Amino acid sequence: MTHFEPSRLLSRLPEQFFAALSLKAAQKVQEGHDIINLGQGNPDQPTPPHIIKALQEAAEQPENHKYSPFRGKASLKEAAAAFYKREYGVTLDPETEIAVLFGGKAGLVELPQCLLNPGETALVPDPGYPDYWSGVEMAGANMHLMPLLEENHYLPDYRQLDRAVLDRSKLMFLNYPNNPTGAAASKAFFEETVEFAKAHHICTVHDFAYGAIGFDGEKPVSFLQTPGAKDVGIEIYTLSKTFNMAGWRVGFAAGNPSVIEALNLFQDHMYVSVFGAVQDAAAAALLDEGESVRRLSEMYENRRNVLVQSFKEIGWELKAPKGSFFAWLPVPKGYTSQEFSDLLLEKAHVVMAPGSGFGQYGEGYLRTALLTDETRIQEAAERISKLGIFTASAN
């Protein structure tokens, strides 16, 4: 059989980190082991019933059996605008300031191809979501990494960026609440970001995937709440986490009209929009007053509290995340993040993601997810305790 070589573009793409992690875990399951998987970001709760019902009813409508409008249904974009007005006090024009996406990931990978030319630079957080890298590579552009350090609360320090780098930079990714660190951004940080982006003419893309998940009574801040934010960028919102709709593949971008138009134009050539019934169900989700969302955030906060307490009791000290459904744990001395991740899988049958998979500044950490119930989180801590690596807390 003839073998056809893939394009050079495909050979340049980064390895799909989560696929490799999932394969390792699956192999252990096939061997008959009881695996506690804290390594992936796939929500474990079902989609709320009223959203499923909306999909079922919409699927019966003949108009949804045809091609959807290229740029998405007006009803979904109006619902997204209403959602932002209700939740954040942000006013958006549904037609010029919102673009429907096949999930947040699609928009994040498409944006560098919409805005960057070969040789231009994107500012990318490190550690950060690996698919930021994919879009930059597809655009033939360059990445400049912005370290997210614990001493700076996992926020980038714009003062450390060289002027020559800034002159080449045209796009910047941010993500708060943050994957993988669980850090949160303040209004003051976003105000600084708007000033920085204006001064250097850099489009800011805020990945707000975990916008519904904040802890200790603190609601995550939307970048678009910041005065002047729409002048310099957009926000990507996915329904995957807020409404447990990860498999539905629907989200939207909101903000600067020129960026929204670029996204729409790109997608005009790629797709014929999301299945109409999914758009109708997404609109129903966004228009709901949000009781199910509040309960979901409370569930994650309870799990976070159990994780922090359980791991501290076995001697693994960590800082409680402020948002998202992730925690960022320091690796014990003497191990790389990959080595310790492999050890936990082999000896404790617990999956955690090595921080090195999120960038060079992720080395020395593991990312764990709050995507299983409290009992399994406690069991994971007990299994790890039996390895004898940590000294149990006296508390």
Residue 153 is given by DSSP the state T
Domain that holds residue 350: 8-47+291-385
User: Residue 5 is encoded by which pair of tokens?
Assistant: 């070589």
CATH number for the domain harbouring residue 365: 3.90.1150.10
Q: Residue 13: pLDDT band by 50, 70, 90 thresholds?
A: confident
Q: Residue 376: pLDDT band by 50, 70, 90 thresholds?
A: very high
Work out the average pLDDT over 289-313. 93
pLDDT in tens, 190-243: 999 999 999 999 999 999 999 999 999 999 999 999 999 999 999 999 999 999
User: Residue 38 is encoded by which pair of tokens?
Assistant: 């804290």
pLDDT in tens, 57-106: 999 999 999 999 999 999 999 999 999 999 999 999 999 999 999 999 99
Question: What is the structure's pLDDT at 11?
Answer: 86
Q: Both 95 and 200 in a single domain?
A: yes
DSSP 290-332: -HHHHHHHHHHHHHHHHHHHHHHHTT---PPPSBTTEEEEEPP
Q: How far apart are CA 289 and CA 83, in angstroms?
A: 9
Q: Both 100 and 139 in a single domain?
A: yes
- E strand map for the chain: 36-37, 98-101, 121-126, 142-147, 169-174, 203-207, 233-238, 251-255, 326-330, 350-351, 353-354, 365-369
| 254 closest CA partner among 230, 288, 285 | 230
How many domains, in total, are found in the chain? 2
Verdict on whether the full-model pTM lies above 0.75: yes
Choose one of 233, 268, 287: the last residue of a domain: 287
Q: Both 21 and 69 in a single domain?
A: no
Q: Both 227 and 115 in a single domain?
A: yes
Question: What is the structure's pLDDT at 392?
Answer: 66
Share of the chain above pLDDT 70, in %: 99
Q: How far apart are CA 325 and CA 178, in angstroms?
A: 9
Q: Residue 393: pLDDT band by 50, 70, 90 thresholds?
A: low
390 occurs within a structural domain: no
Q: Both 22 and 118 in a single domain?
A: no
Q: How far apart are CA 233 and CA 23, in angstroms?
A: 37
Choose one of 262, 287, 312: the last residue of a domain: 287
Q: Both 132 and 253 in a single domain?
A: yes
Share of the chain above pLDDT 90, in %: 89
CATH number for the domain harbouring residue 122: 3.40.640.10
Q: How far apart are CA 17 and CA 131, in angstroms?
A: 10
